[in-house]
Amino acid sequence: MNVEQVIQCRQLSRSFGSLQAVDHLNLSIPKQSIYGFLGPNGSGKSTTMRMLCGLLTPSSGQVEVLGLEIPRQAEQLKHQIGYMAQKFALYDDLTVAENLSFMAKAYNLPGKTQAQRIAETLSRYALQPLQKQMTGTLSGGQKQRLSLAAATLHKPKLLFLDEPTSGVDPQSRRNFWESLFELVNDGVTILVSTHYMDEAERCHGLAILDHGVKVADESPANLIAQIDASVFQIEGTSIMPLKHQLATSPEVLSMMQLGERLRVLLSKKIANPQDYLQRLLAPIDQSLRITPITASIEDVFVMATLHRQPMPPAEKSVTTNASHFQ
């Protein structure tokens, strides 16, 4: 099947002084899909999005978005895309309706259609009851809905959403993602960055960035199936001694404490990983329980970003969630 590619870039790079923020990135994003960017802080997600939108000039590389050469044809692209910046970008001292009206003018929507589009959009994003409220007084979730409404007011074919749901409660995030799938159903393509693993898992395709380099690019299901680690849950009478013992093994790639359990990623180099863990930990804890479990997207993320930041065994436990309490 010949799927139309909405975004294609080759060897896209951007440096700021001596910092290589985006490093020879190749991307191919198919039409009518949700494509996610996952990566640690500073890995180049926002910088890449801004270059793809035509807001930032690349240092080198080729970019084609909706058949336009970027940045050369950025002006033509402007009205075909919606962009939701990482930071809330609407006016706090305008009402909800006034902000949408302002955006309608900024998008050059014809006068006749403006009122109709605003009414449709207010309804679609459940903003009608809030239309006269000052934007600065909206809750976080309401602000995200308004931002999405503003970014889609002109019916763009392509949406760039930079961490659109950060700080939003789980139910509001779910509703937000339902809106994204509805947009995709209408033919829209979405590029979204996130730090939420559940959101990453909902994308059709997912690129993991680390220090400006793409370290993985697949469907979430394939990434999970292809993970280069064995994953185990470990329970015992006392977690802390187990953690210290695990930290001595170079084959233990990561561990995370979840209450009284440990989630451990073990190198695939170990032929019989369960036996290996049993032999390593049995002298420490007699009532040990080691259970193989399915990998998650978070495990994939940890593995994908591990190689470029090798951590000495002694520091491994610092990567655990519970490390602050040690």
Ligand X SMILES: Nc1ncnc2c1ncn2[C@@H]1O[C@H](COP(=O)(O)OP(=O)(O)OP(=O)(O)O)[C@@H](O)[C@H]1O
* Chain contacts with Mg ion (rule: CB under 5 A): 45-46, 86
Instruction: Pick the stretch among 37-45, 57-65, 99-107, 313-321 that binds ligand X (CB under 6 A).
Output: 37-45
Q: Which is nearer to Mg ion, 114 or 193 (CB)?
A: 193
* In the complex, least distance from residue 50 CB atom to ligand X, rounded to whole angstroms: 8
Q: Which is nearer to ligand X, 217 or 235 (CB)?
A: 217
For 131, other C-beta atoms within 10 Å of its C-beta total: 16
Q: Which is nearer to ligand X, 16 or 181 (CB)?
A: 16
Residue nearest Mg ion (C-beta atom): 46
In the set 42, 61, 140, 141, which binds ligand X (CB under 6 A)? 42
Q: Which is nearer to ligand X, 52 or 242 (CB)?
A: 52
- Strand ranges (E), 166-286: 189-194, 205-210, 213-218, 229-235, 252-258, 261-267
- The torsion region of residue 11 among left (phi > 0), alpha (psi -120 to 50) and beta comes to left
In the set 13, 29, 34, 45, which binds ligand X (CB under 6 A)? 45
Give CA torsion, residues 25, 30, 34, 37, to 10 deg.
Answer: -10
Q: Which is nearer to ligand X, 153 or 168 (CB)?
A: 168
Give CA torsion, residues 91, 92, 96, 97, to 10 deg.
Answer: -50
Instruction: Pick the stretch among 26-34, 44-52, 70-78, 126-134 that binds ligand X (CB under 6 A).
Output: 44-52
Q: Which is nearer to Mg ion, 49 or 306 (CB)?
A: 49
Q: Is 181 in the site for ligand X (CB under 6 A)?
A: no
Contact 265, 299 (CB under 8 A): yes
* In the complex, least distance from residue 16 CB atom to ligand X, rounded to whole angstroms: 3
Q: Token pair 């919606």 is at which residue? A: 82
Distances (CA, A) of 9 to 175, 176, 207, 250, 315: 31, 28, 13, 38, 37
Radius of gyration of the chain (CA): 23
Site pattern 3..32 for ligand X (x: CB under 6 A): -------------x--x-x-----------
Please work out, in degrees rounded to the nearest 5, the angle formed at the alpha carbon of residue 222 by the alpha carbons of 217 and 223. Answer: 55
Contact 194, 38 (CB under 8 A): yes
Using CB under 6 A, list all residues that contact ligand X: 16, 19, 21, 39, 41-47, 86
